Amino acid sequence: MPVGEGLALYSAALEAGRLGLPLLEVGTYCGRSAILLADAARASGVVALTVDHHRGSEEQQPGWEYHDPETVDPEIGLMDTLPTFRRTLHRAGLEEHIVALVGRSPQVAKVWGSPLGLVFVDGGHTDEHANADYEGWAPHIAAGGLLVIHDVFPDPADEFTGQAPYRVYLRALASGAFTETAATDSLRVLRRTGAGI
């Protein structure tokens, strides 16, 4: 995540933290954005949550441009970013301000029952995964809470992994439940202002 987008995410998380509700991230990878949410949660007196299966997104698998062989568990031959994520939190001194939910986003969303102040969507970039993240978590955003979507690329020539986040962004706006409040490069911040999702 570029610095400008990281600062915009941090600012949104601080704002949402004023609602006194948890901040949730979908798509943790190794924890760069999670430390921003955890620090904002610390400053706001709330908790941050991350949801990820830690097996990597499509573009992070072997043979793809964003694959990092160091994230592969040598015993089972699959990616496992959870140890790196935990080290990232430890080094940042933020372990007590974040809860890692290890599992697939739609499965965790089905059992989630509490309102959220912020949902940051940065998981899988296929239409199937991006829509499942939106459908699973957007209904949990409290009135006045924020939906933050990463990798929104309106121009197909600018994108690197598909335009699913852009289509989810358009879907959220078309629902009438969200109003855009900020845009920083590929990061969009929307406030929940209505009921229909």
Q: Tell me, what's the pLDDT at 1? A: 81
Mean pLDDT, residues 99-121: 96
Mean pLDDT, residues 1-12: 95
Domain boundaries, the chain: 3-185
Rama region for 103: left / alpha / beta (φ>0; ψ in -120 to 50; rest): left
Q: Which of 28, 40, 46, 41 is nearest to 88 (CA)?
A: 28
Q: Quick count: other Cβ atoms within 10 Å of Cβ 173?
A: 14
53 or 36, which is more confident = 36
Q: Tell me, what's the pLDDT at 62? A: 57
Q: Kindly report the average pLDDT of the chain as a whole number.
A: 89
Q: Is the pLDDT of residue 21 over 90?
A: yes
Q: Tell me, what's the pLDDT at 131? A: 96
Which residue shows structure tokens 């940042």?
A: 92
Q: What's the pTM value of the predicted model, to 2 decimals? A: 0.88
Q: Tell me, what's the pLDDT at 89? A: 93
Residues labelled as active-site residues? 125
Fold classified for 3-185: Rossmann fold (3.40.50)
Q: Is the pLDDT of residue 146 over 90?
A: yes
